[in-house]
Amino acid sequence: MTVPAQPEVLLRPGGCLLPDGSVRTGQAVLVGADGLITHVGDPAAVPLAAPGTARIEYDLPRSTLLPGLIDLHLVVLHAGPVGSAPTLVERTLRAQRLLAGLVERGITTVRDTASEESTALELRALAADGTLRSPSLAVAGSPIGATGRGGAVYRSQEITGVAEARRAARLQVRRGVDLLSVAVTNGLAGGGGLVNGPAGWQELRLDEVEAVVAEARAAGRAVSANALGLDGIKTAIAAGVDTIEHASELDRPTADLMAARGVTMVPTLTVAHGFVEHGPELGLPPRLVERARRLLDGTQVAVQVARDAGVAIATGTDSHGEETVIEEIRHLAAAGLSNREAVLAATSAAGAVLTGEHATGQVAVGYRGDLLVVGGEVPHDLGALSRPLLVLKGGRVLLDQAAPVMAVA
């Protein structure tokens, strides 16, 4: 049986967010039947539809078209209430609901940094073929962490020494993950409340992280490092990772080194805000709420330090509630980024971190047709991000609150 090609989609928004962060009016954007953007620019220069190819057209005045939003740090199978202990089936069903809700809000790509690889890889495949209503998923599988330390809460692969680090990395690559994730330091609670030291205490050694990075590079994979404390941040940079998540104790000399080496910061302000503002209802004891408050204060300062040093900043939420990248954008703006910088953190900056056959995160020819149209003017009005009119993933319309003006064949 021949499967019909998906239709082309032609969009004429009020404004179009371009890769440099400027918003240009009078633009037309065409997504081809292959799901890639084929035209951005003059509406009069849009090519005719190929014979036999259907085309859907939208006129969307008083709107802004921007890339679909990207969450670089979400643990899909552990995103529920803190302290809960659901079964794998319960966590998978919850993940299904979570992912469907995300894509309907315009989050079209999620990087999962710490879910069990077998289930995460199955979810990735179902999202890719359209069976699962979901953003595109880039998965790290089980993170690589130190034996007996905080990563146990996420069922990490526990290692001691270089040989075990190399073996763990090779096994992850063999299983088909998109990136590798290393728990260089502990987190807020040190692993289920069993604190091995202050939040951000370093757990993996430099040679262990270097071994993981070397194996990742040999296989063309990126490396994400969870690192809150300054020692761990320095170790992650020295080892050559691609992104540092949280980076709560970042100082200016270290930020300068991050910028020089092209390491991206993913501050995850959303999870810290969630723990501070909703700690009791999440079941957090007072000591952890206060710990979260200190980390939030430190991370907000770290964002300003990173911005001043020219570090690339991208969005990730680590959310345990209903908050999404939309909230992370607002938190970044409140922490000192301009609205434009905060929106770019969720689009082009986050997209630059991802690897794959077709890039995402920009409204540009050749990029994947992951697009979001909102009612209002972005980045001037960040509230407009909560008013989605249209969501496309790979050129397929997944949310349509604005009926097409024309459908032609």
pLDDT at residue 198, rounded to an integer: 66
pLDDT at residue 383, rounded to an integer: 97
pLDDT at residue 193, rounded to an integer: 45
Instruction: Give the number of other Cβ atoms within 10 Å of residue 314's Cβ.
Output: 29
pLDDT at residue 74, rounded to an integer: 95
Give the CA distances from residue 6 to residues 373, 395, 405, in Å, rounded to whole numbers and listed in that order.
20, 8, 18
pLDDT at residue 200, rounded to an integer: 77
Residue 255 to residue 244: CA distance in whole angstroms: 11
Residue given tokens 């496309």 in the structure block:
392
What size, in residues, is the chain?
A: 409
pLDDT at residue 1, rounded to an integer: 42
Q: Which residues of 140-154 are buried (b: 16+ CB within 10 A; e: fewer)?
A: bbbbbbbeebbbbbb
Q: Which two tokens stand for residue 296?
A: 């939030």
- SS3 for 182? strand
From first to last of its 409 residues, the chain has per-residue pLDDT tens of 445 679 999 999 999 999 999 999 999 999 999 999 999 999 999 999 888 889 999 999 999 999 999 999 999 988 666 666 778 898 899 999 999 999 999 999 999 999 888 899 999 999 999 999 999 999 999 999 998 876 656 678 999 999 999 999 999 999 999 999 999 998 876 554 454 566 678 999 999 999 999 999 999 999 999 999 999 999 999 999 999 999 999 999 999 999 999 999 999 999 999 989 988 887 788 888 888 899 999 999 999 999 999 999 999 999 887 899 999 999 999 999 999 999 999 999 999 999 776 799 999 999 999 999 999 999 999 999 999 999 999 999 999 998 777 666 6
Domains 8-66+361-408 and 69-353 fall in the same CATH topology: no
pLDDT at residue 117, rounded to an integer: 81
Residue pLDDT, tens place only, 84-105: 677 889 889 999 999 999 999 9
Positive or negative, the CA dihedral 129, 351, 109, 177 is positive
* CATH T-level fold of 69-353: TIM Barrel (3.20.20)
Which homologous superfamily is 8-66+361-408 in? Urease, subunit C, domain 1 (2.30.40.10)
User: Residue 378: which of 7, 87, 18 has the closest Cα?
Assistant: 18
pLDDT at residue 87, rounded to an integer: 85
pLDDT at residue 405, rounded to an integer: 74
pLDDT at residue 81, rounded to an integer: 63
Give the CA distances from residue 255 to residues 296, 297, 306, 309, in Å, rounded to whole numbers and listed in that order.
18, 17, 6, 6
User: Residue 145: which of 78, 79, 40, 232 has the closest Cα?
Assistant: 232
| Domain regions of the chain by residue span | 8-66+361-408, 69-353
Residue pLDDT, tens place only, 62-73: 999 999 999 999
Q: What's the pTM value of the predicted model, to 2 decimals? A: 0.95
Residue 370 sits at the vertex; the CA angle it makes with 365 and 376, to the nearest 5 degrees, is 100
Give 131's contacts (C-beta < 8 A, 6+ positions apart). Answer: none
